[in-house]
Chains A and B, each alone.
Chain A
Amino acid sequence: MSPLLSVRDLRVSFGGVKAADGVDLDIHPHEVVAVVGPNGSGKTTFLNLCTGYISPQRGAITFNGESIARLSPRAITRRGIARAFQIPQLFTGHSLLENVMLAVAARHGIWTARRPLAHGSTREEAREMLALLALAELADQPTASLPEGQRKLADIAIALALKPRLLLLDEPTSGVSTAEKSALMDTIVTVLRAEKVTALFVEHDMNVVERYADRVLVWDAGRVVVGGAPAEVLRSAMVLERVIGIA
């Protein structure tokens, strides 16, 4: 099966810091891949490169057979890559339902004033997405008043409402209590599987990685140092020492 996302010799540096130093990787359709690594190893930079927030100085990023390395975030979004952020990016002046409806409308084409945003099919689709993520009861709440775990889910609901082929999640469980992490990830991964969305998520909690990822990529100093099944990779001496911090 040909990869959905293919990255070759990706390089970018900020001053003397190499945030991506020859990254090579493939993500295949329907995989859920975790990215782990110490702080500053280039994980979020990689997401920024894949979503057009920054452009690589060298290398290739191919999505679904098309080069996306120099495209803008919105052009990349339109091609089927959506993103959820470490700090949820919501429209705080709108309700949760309106946030998701805006995403649904963005997918259908925003350039219309012929019908209201809360048009029947848009509203229905948004409500269905909220129901999938167990947020239906909060639909009319202003997003600014939501607790962190639900703000994370709301951010993911917005991204999923775009019906992406690839979803990039930056630390979906950060800022969420240990007790809530499993419930949050259960919900996310169930929806990803149901919607057949390929996903790549940055994560610091190795229990989450081991439980939910099909594959893990270990990042260090701007490159992938090892990758494979979580059960094997997370027990290797090098990963224990450099990533988890057990000598």
Chain B
Amino acid sequence: MRLGHILFLAVVAALAPLVLPWLGFVLTLAVGKGLAALGVALLLRAGLISIGHALYLAIGAYATAFLMQGGVTSDLVLLLAAATVITTASGLLVGLFMVRYRAIFFAMLNLAVSMVFFTALSKLYHLTGGSDGLRVATPTLLGVELDRATFDSVLNLGALVLMVGAALIVDRYLKSPLGEALSAVETNEVRLEYLGVPARGVILVAYATSAALAGLGGAITAVAIGHVVPELSYWTLSGQLVLIAVLGGIGGAPGAFIGAFFLELVRTFATGIAADAWNAIIGIALLIVIFFLPEGLYGIVQRLGRPRPAA
């Protein structure tokens, strides 16, 4: 990943609301999903597909709601930090079990756990508000109360800063011995063990990191919308995260955010043309990516940036 790529994406996303102010909200939600999709992309590096990662997005979102309703904190920075820590701990706990499985079993177990969580959120009405969900009031920022419009603008910019930070951290992680070992899990787990490296430990670190990213995304989503509902952990959202990761490409951290921006913008603009047109557009885009752009949309950017061989 080149620093310029993610910075360019952030600057464009920061400037877009100056032209269309309502885009700020859409792009904030896109960053939330992009963070979760980045977590999914991280696991894809090891050849592991999670179709239940909305679980962690929902944990991050509900943790935010509970922290506010419980009066623990109502500060945005503390909420985001605490939700990320809680989700990381959840990822570590669930991950201890998940890292034992590969391929379809890993995918289905993640789906199963997320659906159990969805049911719990839906049925534990007194605790979670059931299908009505929970309201999330507008947080303060470092003790300062902001009006909603100002808060939304600050959140939008803050989300973009977090996007750049997360991309840089993930990029550094993927280039580190630990990150390269994660890629090695996909191609030869046996050899990895014969290097004295526990493959399960390598996957657990990635799994907890991916949960943290999704949790942070969930917390941003919760404060942006001001409401959390069980559908945040529903399997269709998990599927969407995989779609975003594949669409954007797993060759670098910006891919997940490019995929998320693409999906959210297509959905927003296409809905104005025909109610479900966005499904068809995204479907066709995914087909094009699978057949012609296996490195995803970010692959195009990377290809353009590569030096041409001398003639």
Contact = CB atoms under 8 A, between A and B. Distances in A.
A73 B193 contact: yes
A110 B178 contact: yes
A98 interface: yes
A75 B201 CA distance: 14
A94 B187 contact: yes
Interface residues of B, number: 24
B179 A113 contact: yes
Interface residues of A, number: 35
A196 B6 CA distance: 49
Interface stretch (B79-87, B169-177, B225-233): B169-177
Among A77, A83, A110, A162: residue with most chain B CB under 10 A? A110
Interface in B137-169: none
Contacts of A93: 183-184, 186-187
B194 A110 contact: no
**Interface SS majority for chain B:** helix
Interface string A104-131: 0111001111111110001000000000
A113 B188 contact: no
Central interface residue in B173, B196, B198, by most chain A CB within 10 Å: B196
B39 to A, nearest CB: 16
Contacts of B194: 51, 73-74, 77, 82-83, 89, 159
A99 to B, nearest CB: 9
A126 to B, nearest CB: 12
30 contacts: A74-B194, A74-B197, A74-B198, A77-B196, A89-B188, A89-B191, A90-B188, A91-B184, A92-B187, A93-B184, A93-B187, A94-B180, A94-B187, A102-B177, A105-B177, A105-B180, A106-B177, A106-B181, A106-B195, A107-B196, A110-B181, A112-B177, A112-B178, A113-B172, A113-B173, A113-B176, A113-B178, A117-B179, A122-B177, A162-B196
